[in-house]
Chain A
């Protein structure tokens, strides 16, 4: 009897141990690891890497599920490309990667590059001074949200053959070519983004089908939203030319005429007196 109880207890213990969630380790840069890449190399799957404030000169390649977070936010954590020909951050064939709270700059490729990545989350980063802010190639079901991808030489956010991604509440302003470009990418959701002041187009869909383009702002670009060879896209509630741009100048010119008449009558009264 006693033996049976012990067996049951041992079996229950084994069950609970196996069912308990795997606790991820926390790795710290620069306290424990001098570089972000060395922390990535030494991390196990699903570990959390916290990067302290400062400037880092690296090209980081991530090939396993990891979380990379900055301790003090994007403005205080700047990562510059050591090798300009490579992206600052590259997710290569990995799933469930988080990159949050970094400034990525100085790459002739991209600030953050997703290559065959799935279920990744890129959030709250500043991607500036690169050829492209964020580049996604053959990557599906990722979330790209609340990033600032501005002042890049070509595109702010560039999706190539990438499907089912969520691109939301990003700022892709003042880029040298386009704000957001979807090329051969389908079933993506592009919602609530700002794509203003880009040299060429705000948002472009090229050979992309079944995307949702909603509630974005595309102001003061050469062209606001451009679609070519693209079908079945839902484009709604985007702001491309707000009424204020038309109404305000008309009101001001009208006020100018009124101002002239008022001034004229005041002058007449003054000189009569």
Chain B
């Protein structure tokens, strides 16, 4: 059991690392989307990476609660991250009708990349 827990403690840093790679790819493709070059391909890359990163985020949150327990700060932290993700998705949906909303999308994309950077940082084993 102890061995399993010790192995599982290294899984989150691996998942967070993959998450950061995917979030970076998603962010670049998102910037290309705003510039409007080859929208179809960029859009597919952006959507694929975006949904993959959400799945990874949920897995990491569940693993975090399972390994470290549920505390007020951990719930607050994970839900804050999820709120950023949902807000970004909402703005993307909105921006299909209102072009002006695009300018906020890049800021949220950058926030998501920074969020993944932080996730890698907090999961690095000491």
Contacts and interface: CB of A to CB of B under 8 A. Distances in A.
Interface on chain B toward A: helix, strand, loop, or mixed SS? helix
B44 interface: yes
Interface stretch (B17-25, B57-65, B84-92, B93-101): B17-25
B15 interface: no
B120 interface: yes
A245 interface: yes
B24 A253 contact: yes
A228 interface: no
A256 B40 contact: no
A268 B126 contact: no
B117 interface: yes
A245 B20 contact: no
A264 B41 contact: yes
Interface of B: 17, 20-25, 27-29, 40-42, 44-45, 48-49, 117, 120-121, 124, 126
Q: Which 7 pairs, one residue from A and one from B, show the smallest C-beta to C-beta distance?
A: A256-B24, A260-B25, A252-B20, A256-B21, A259-B25, A267-B41, A260-B28
Interface of A: 194, 196-197, 217, 219-220, 244-245, 248-249, 252-253, 255-257, 259-260, 263-264, 267-268, 271
Given A196-B126, A260-B28, 20 more contacts: A194-B126, A197-B126, A248-B124, A249-B20, A249-B121, A252-B21, A253-B24, A255-B21, A256-B28, A257-B25, A260-B29, A263-B25, A263-B45, A263-B48, A263-B49, A264-B41, A264-B42, A267-B41, A267-B44, A271-B41
